[in-house]
Amino acid sequence: MPYSSSGVGHNGFEKADLHIHTKCSDGLFTPEEIVDKAVRSGLKAISITDHDSVLGIDKAKPLALEKGLELIPGVEMSSTYKGYDIHVLGYFFNYQHSELKRYLDHCRQLRTERAERMVNKLARMGVKIGIEQIITKAQNGSVGRPHIAAVLQDVGYVKSFSEAFSKYLGAHSPAYVKSIETHPGEVIRLINEASGLSFLAHPAQNVPDETLKQLITFGLDGIEIVHPSHDNYKQNYYREIANEYFLLFSGGSDYHGMKDRDEDTFGRVAIPYQWVTKMKCRLVNA
């Protein structure tokens, strides 16, 4: 794949995937199934980075220990800055940290309220689905747009996940409602207070260069370099920015398990384990 790290997975390189979603947010697989999949794919380390949720970490931990897979505590936290949805990945933090847990519980409520507003917008367009169907689809996890897309597909309003987003749920589509409007600086602070590292997720998707430079001033520890939306040019581009500001590198498949979206990325869009080692060095020296 053009966006996979050069050489990773070949010639004995150890690899990691630090961007994976489970049923605890908007992925299709359980944390335990993700652990099994990671072991079969030959990954040395993974991070489950559910949206505004750390519920998958404890679920995955016993099996990861049993299988000898390194499980790095992770989360993908939503924020908004100057009209842009900004996603911040947190790693190696204390996921039992009381302030962080309180905040994530609050986010879970906000996500459900956001889904309700999107359901109301859809209803005004004649597309009638119930919030209960979406919550059921989320299986008590963190509710997100993919759950709404799945219900739209089940009911027959769309044929695919991608059609649901292009027609109704994407950032410029009629039923879209803004994500959690916390300032990214506050999200970075929460991760830092919980002794973790913060990384800007998939900058090529939604972050203009000017905004990226401002986000760095809020205290980011790194940038997600490897992502399915980053071709080789973008990987090199963000690597140069990270080097310029002495930031760490991260990356992963952003795996959700949806066949029309990312089935072939798992185990293939990965990073050298050496990047994980550098993160640990930053933690030790902090």
The string of pLDDT tens digits covering residues 167-184 is 999 988 999 998 889 999
Q: List 106's β-bridge partners, or say none.
A: none
Which residues make Cβ contacts (< 8 Å) with residue 268, sequence separation at least 6? 1, 4, 9, 253
Residue 28: the pLDDT is: 86
Residue 179: the pLDDT is: 82
d(CA 58, CA 68) in angstroms, rounded, equals 15
Which amino acid is present at 213? K
Residue 263: the pLDDT is: 62
Residue 142: the pLDDT is: 84
Residue 264: the pLDDT is: 74
User: Could you tell me which of 264, 274, 259, 229 has the C-alpha nearest to residue 28?
Assistant: 259
DSSP the chain: -TTSPTTTTSTT--EEEEEE--TTTT-SS-HHHHHHHHHHTT-SEEEE--BT--HHHHHHHHHHHHHT-EE--EEEEEEEETTEEEEEEEES--TT-HHHHHHHHHHHHHHHHHHHHHHHHHHHTT----HHHHHHHHTTS---HHHHHHHHHHHTS-SSHHHHIIIIISTTSTT--------HHHHHHHHHHTT-EEEE--HHHH--HHHHHHHHHTT--EEEEE-TT--HHHHHHHHHHHHHTT-EEEE---B---TTTTGGGTTTS-EEHHHHHHHHHHHHH-
Q: pLDDT tens digit string along 91-142?
A: 999 999 999 999 999 998 999 999 999 999 999 999 999 999 999 988 877 8
Contact between 170 and 176 under an 8 Å Cβ cutoff? The reply is yes
Q: For each of the chain's 286 residues, which pLDDT tens digit applies? A: 334 443 344 445 799 999 999 999 988 899 999 999 999 999 999 999 999 999 999 999 999 999 999 999 999 999 999 989 999 999 999 999 999 999 999 998 999 999 999 999 999 999 999 999 999 988 877 898 989 999 999 999 999 988 999 999 998 899 999 888 999 999 999 999 999 999 999 999 889 999 999 999 999 999 999 999 999 999 999 999 999 999 999 999 999 987 656 567 899 999 999 999 999 999 977 6
**Phi and psi angles of residue 178, each rounded to the nearest 5 degrees, phi first:** -55, 150
Contact between 247 and 223 under an 8 Å Cβ cutoff? The reply is yes
Residue 64: the pLDDT is: 98
d(CA 227, CA 223) in angstroms, rounded, equals 11
Question: What is the set of domains in the chain, with CATH numbers?
Answer: 15-103+179-285 (3.20.20.140), 111-169 (1.10.150.650)
